[in-house]
Amino acid sequence: MNRKTLTQYLVEQQRTHQTVPAEVRLLIETVARACKAIGHAVSKGALGGVLGSLDSENVQGEVQKKLDVLSNEILLEANEWGGHLAAMASEEMETLHRIPNRYPKGEYLLLFDPLDGSSNIDVNVSIGTIFSVLHAPHDAPGRDIEESDFLQPGSQQVAAGYAVYGPQSMLVLTLGNGVAAFTLDREMGSWLLTEENLTIPEDTSEFAINMSNMRHWEPPVKRYIDDCLAGSTGPLGKDYNMRWIASMVADVHRIMTRGGIFMYPRDERPSGKKGKLRLMYEANPMAFIVEQAGGAALDGEARILDVKPQALHQRIGVVLGSKNEVERVRRYHQED
């Protein structure tokens, strides 16, 4: 079958829509190559000596897995020298990573969660990489990039995507003009286009949430899940299934494929009042992708892409997926 490669797709987008500058195209190709290398390391598992934890924690206070650190290094090294970036930021690093002086600097900023779903690394469940591209401020040339330069609302993202390392390795990408999915042909070593216009159904009968936190939820979230659990005899009039993989990439990819709602809401615990997921590395890129596929993404009440970040590692509540269910959660918050 004659399928488009990622490069062909990007060139066509550049020619047809004229919204993909050459620098962005080359940057995405570089990130995609890095994801291919990460996927290769993941697939080796114990044979590659990459399983298990290190005696260290990231800036979030979470124990780092060997693959977390390796994935972070792969993305940094792949993107340092190309001349497309002014700086990078990662969930695994305390502060930004400036491009070394020995390399040319570009006009863009790259943010990434190098390996989402770390708790599943050692049990062979799908994990992935999430990334986001921003334009550096116009006054950035001639000065050092600061953390504040990254603090742009998600609506200003130039591109976003994720790679999921599962039975097939897939790359899902938006350039602000719909969502495309690519599958890695391991024999050819190429990302090949397998879905050009991913669309999330507006209605769903699947929800994904960590039920063990139920006692801590805010009342609107508990009301919504109670209504789902009430099934066809309840207020929503249909039976729901629950799915929870504990890997945001895997849960969101299921929603991108067949619809659903993913919830990692704020809760009443001191550690959960602002939410758990990272705005810059997880919520913003996923919200951009989901909206481009016809879905919706809220922090519970407000659109995630409208949130003005206050810190590089800011946390936020996340409710995203099929539009009608997400809007129902918003309405429950407003009524509360």
Is 147 annotated as a binding-site member?
no
* Partners of residue 242 on adjacent β-strands: 207
Is 91 annotated as a binding-site member?
yes
Backbone angles phi, psi at 111, to 5 degrees: -120, 145
Is 116 annotated as a binding-site member?
yes
Element containing residue 287 per DSSP (H, E): helix 284-292
Q: Are 294 and 335 in contact (CB under 8 A)?
A: no
Place of tokens 């929603």: 255
Is 119 annotated as a binding-site member?
yes
Residues in the chain, how many?
336
Is 107 annotated as a binding-site member?
no
Using a 10 angstrom Cβ sphere, with 0-12 exposed, 13-18 middle and 19 or more buried, the burial of residue 56 is exposed
Is 113 annotated as a binding-site member?
yes
3-state SS track over 19-86: CCCHHHHHHHHHHHHHHHHHHHHHHHHHHHCCCCEEEEECCCCCEEEHHHHHHHHHHHHHHHCCCCEE
Give the span between the Cα atoms of 278 and 65, in whole angstroms: 18
Is 251 annotated as a binding-site member?
no
Is 227 annotated as a binding-site member?
no
Is 282 annotated as a binding-site member?
yes
Q: Are 97 and 150 in contact (CB under 8 A)?
A: no
Q: Which amino acid is at 213?
A: N
Is 210 annotated as a binding-site member?
yes
Cα dist from 102 to 80, 85, 143, 225, whole Å: 10, 13, 15, 54
Element containing residue 286 per DSSP (H, E): helix 284-292
From the annotation, which residues make up the binding site? 91, 113, 115-119, 210, 276, 282
From the annotation, which residues make up the binding site for substrate? 116-119, 210, 276
From the annotation, which residues make up the binding site for Mg(2+)? 91, 113, 115-116, 282
